[in-house]
């Protein structure tokens, strides 16, 4: 029977420990037919929502007790390298995309595609901080040939600041229809946002999500992004409510998870 799970956590670290424990308890194990690590086993939730009430509390990354003699799932050094992947347009030649490129430098085509003011937000199109020309140009004709890049982060900041907080349209979009053709489409599909009680809330959704190392690194970087946007908008930092229909533990970390849980997957299955 399909079983949605809800976890309420205080901090990002608490969310990770609770979710690892719960995955061992109720996750379903199966062999991956297609996708990353094809042919390997995963232990996966049917669907999960994690409500994190104080994601700003440091440290952002979980720390394992020294007596386990197990390395932390994510190092501070890795997180420092990962944050630009989410917040800037950096992309290597062999990468089909990055989250940061989709969020902050998404190609939008030529200006003449956006002439109908009844469809497009013209104030955003005319703001080069939000709708950036691909190259610096001396005239509009060159802009129209080369095209533009959309910065979703700055567009959402601008919209909340200039058009009010009660707005259900402010979603940082990562996915696009053609992603279904990629060998490795984005796991993070979108980061929805809301300002409630003068606080900025984030609602990330992952189609598939590595619980051991991906979950803590992703949420810590997302928290940095949320803090930046809240500061720019002029509101307080709020909560995170994350969800996924594919949060999982790969079989190569099952034993590590069992050690910190103090109970095996098989013991849970017997109950």
8 A C-beta contact, residue 187 and residue 226: no
**Predicted confidence band of residue 120 (pLDDT cuts 50, 70, 90):** confident
Does 215 have pLDDT greater than 60? Answer: yes
- Is 145 a member of any domain? no
Q: How far is CA 218 from CA 46, 61, 165, 192, in A?
A: 20, 10, 26, 15
Percentage above 90 pLDDT, the chain: 75
Instruction: Please state whether beta strands 199-206 and 236-244 pair in parallel, antiparallel, or not at all (unpaired).
Output: parallel
CATH number for 208:
3.30.572.10
Does 138 have pLDDT greater than 50? Answer: no
- Is 61 a member of any domain? yes
Structure tokens that stand for 265 in this block: 């997957």
- Is 162 a member of any domain? no
- Summary mean pLDDT of the chain: 92
- Is 219 a member of any domain? no
Structure tokens that stand for 239 in this block: 């909560």
Residues 1-60 have pLDDT tens digits of 999 999 999 999 999 999 999 999 999 999 999 887 888 899 999 999 999 999 999 999
8 A C-beta contact, residue 256 and residue 70: yes
Quote the domain boundaries for residue 34.
Answer: 4-92+172-214+230-270
Residues 165-174 have pLDDT tens digits of 999 999 999 9
Distance of CA 29 to the CA centre of its chain: 24
| List of long-range contacts for 209-212, beta carbons under 8 Å, 24+ apart | 209/244, 209/246, 209/247, 209/248, 210/248, 210/250, 211/16, 211/19, 211/20, 211/23, 211/247, 211/248, 211/249, 212/20, 212/73, 212/249, 212/250, 212/253, 212/256, 212/257
Please tell me whether residue 36 adopts helix, strand or coil conformation: coil
**Predicted confidence band of residue 126 (pLDDT cuts 50, 70, 90):** confident
- Is 140 a member of any domain? no
What is the total count of domains within the chain?
A: 1
Distance of CA 241 to the CA centre of its chain: 11
Is residue 88 exposed (0-12), middle (13-18) or buried (19+ Cβ within 10 Å)?
Answer: middle
Distance CA(247)–CA(249), nearest Å, equals: 7
pLDDT of residue 38: 86
Structure tokens that stand for 98 in this block: 């990055």
Please indicate whether residue 109 or residue 124 has the higher confidence score (pLDDT).
124
Packed helices 152-163 and 214-233: angle between N→C axes, nearest 10 degrees: 40
Strands (E), the chain: 4-9, 28-31, 41-44, 47-52, 106-109, 131-133, 148-150, 171-173, 188-196, 199-206, 209-210, 236-244, 247-250
- Is 238 a member of any domain? yes
- Mean pLDDT, residues 189-216: 98
Does 92 have pLDDT greater than 50? Answer: yes
- Is 155 a member of any domain? no
pLDDT of residue 124: 87
Does 136 have pLDDT greater than 60? Answer: no
- Is 99 a member of any domain? no
Phi-psi region of 126 (alpha: psi -120 to 50; beta: other; left: phi over 0): alpha
């Amino acid at each position: 029977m399909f079983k949605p799970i809800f976890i309420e956590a205080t901090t990002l670290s608490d969310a990770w420990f609770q979710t690892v424990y719960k995955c061992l308890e109720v996750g379903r194990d199966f062999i991956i037919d297609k996708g990353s690590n094809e042919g390997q086993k995963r232990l996966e939730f049917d669907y999960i929502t994690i409500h994190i009430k104080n994601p700003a509390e440091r440290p952002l990354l979980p720390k394992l007790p020294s007596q386990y003699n197990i390395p932390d799932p994510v190092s501070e050094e890795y997180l420092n390298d990962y944050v630009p992947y989410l917040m800037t347009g950096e992309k290597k030649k062999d990468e089909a995309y990055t989250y940061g490129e989709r969020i902050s430098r998404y190609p939008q085509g030529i200006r003449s595609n956006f002439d109908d003011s009844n469809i497009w937000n013209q104030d955003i199109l005319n703001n080069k901080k939000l709708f950036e020309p691909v190259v610096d140009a001396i005239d509009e004709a060159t802009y129209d040939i080369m095209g533009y890049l959309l910065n979703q982060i700055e567009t959402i900041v601008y919209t909340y600041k200039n058009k009010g907080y009660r707005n259900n349209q402010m979603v940082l979009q990562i996915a696009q229809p053609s992603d279904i053709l990629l060998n490795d489409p984005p796991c993070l599909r979108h980061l929805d946002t809301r300002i409630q009680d003068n606080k900025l809330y984030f609602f990330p959704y992952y189609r598939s999500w590595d619980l051991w190392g991906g979950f803590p690194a992703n949420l810590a970087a997302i928290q940095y992004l949320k803090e930046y946007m809240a500061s720019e908008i002029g509101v307080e930092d709020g909560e995170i409510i994350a969800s996924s229909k594919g949060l999982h533990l790969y079989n190569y970390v099952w034993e590590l998870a069992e050690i910190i849980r103090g109970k095996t997957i098989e013991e849970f299955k017997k109950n």
